[in-house]
Amino acid sequence: MPWLAISLELEAAAAEAMSDSLLEAGAQSVWVEPGGRLNALLPERADAHAVLGRAASAAALPSAAFSAHVVADQDWVRATQAQFAPQCIAGTLWIVPSWHEAPREGTVLRLDPGLAFGTGSHPSTRLVLGWLAGASLAGARVLDYGCGSGILGIAAAKLGAVQVDAVDVDDAALAATGDNARANAAAVNTFAPERLPAGDYDIVAANILAQPLLVLEPLLAARTRRGGRIALAGILEAQAPELVQAYAEHFEARVAAREEGWALVEGERR
pLDDT above 80 for 209: yes
Q: Average pLDDT for residues 146-167, to the nearest whole number?
A: 95
Sign of the Cα torsion 246, 248, 250, 253 reads: positive
pLDDT, one tens digit per residue, over 50-105 is 999 999 888 888 888 899 888 766 555 555 555 667 778 888 888 887 777 777 78
Rounded (to 5) percent helix, strand, coil in the chain: 35, 30, 35
Residue 247 sits at φ, ψ, to 5 deg, of -90, -5
- Choices 3.50.50.60, 3.60.21.10, 3.40.50.920, 3.40.50.150: CATH for 120-269: 3.40.50.150
CB 204 within 8 Å of CB 230: yes
Q: Read off the pLDDT of residues 225-258 as tens digits, 9 standing for 90 and up.
A: 999 999 999 999 999 999 999 999 999 999 999 9
Task: Determine whether 62 is exposed, middle or buried from the number of CB atoms within 10 Å of its CB (0-12, 13-18, 19+).
Answer: exposed
Measure Cα distances from 153 to 130, 143, 172, 207, 213 in Å.
13, 7, 16, 11, 18
Give one DSSP letter per residue of 132-187, joined into a string: HHHS--TT-EEEEES-TTSHHHHHHHHTT-SEEEEE-S-HHHHHHHHHHHHHTT--
Q: Is 220 helix (H, G, I), strand (E, B) or coil?
A: helix
Ramachandran assignment for 214, one of left (phi > 0), alpha (psi -120 to 50 degrees), beta (any other): alpha
144-153 mean pLDDT: 94
pLDDT above 70 coverage of the chain, percent: 90
Element (H, E) at 4: strand 3-9
Predicted local confidence at residue 115, as pLDDT: 46
What pLDDT was estimated at residue 226?
98
H helices present in 64-122, as ranges: 73-82
* pLDDT of the residue at 174: 94
Q: What residue spans of the chain are helical by DSSP H?
A: 12-25, 48-58, 73-82, 123-134, 151-158, 171-183, 210-222, 240-247
Mean pLDDT along residues 191-218:
96
Give the residues across from 39 on adjacent strands.
7, 31
pLDDT at 34 over 80: no
Where do the structural domains in the chain lie, given as residue ranges?
A: 3-82, 120-269
Select from 93, 115, 253, 243 the least CA-distant residue to 171. Answer: 115
Average pLDDT, the chain: 88
Taking alpha carbons only, the member of 8, 36, 74, 121 closest to residue 27 is 8
What pLDDT is stored for residue 15 in this prediction? 81
pLDDT in the model for residue 75: 52
Region 208-215: mean pLDDT is 92
Q: From residue 89, how far is each of 28, 119, 130, 262 by CA, in Å? A: 30, 12, 6, 16
Per CATH, the architecture of 3-82 is what? Answer: 2-Layer Sandwich (3.30)
The least confident of 87-101, 125-139, 203-217 is 87-101
Task: Note the pLDDT of residue 1.
Answer: 67
DSSP structure class, residue 3: E
Per-residue confidence (pLDDT) for residue 181, from 0 to 100: 95
| Position with higher pLDDT, 3 vs 162 | 162
How many helices and strands, by DSSP H and E, does the chain display?
A: 8, 14
- What is the predicted pLDDT for the residue at 44? 85
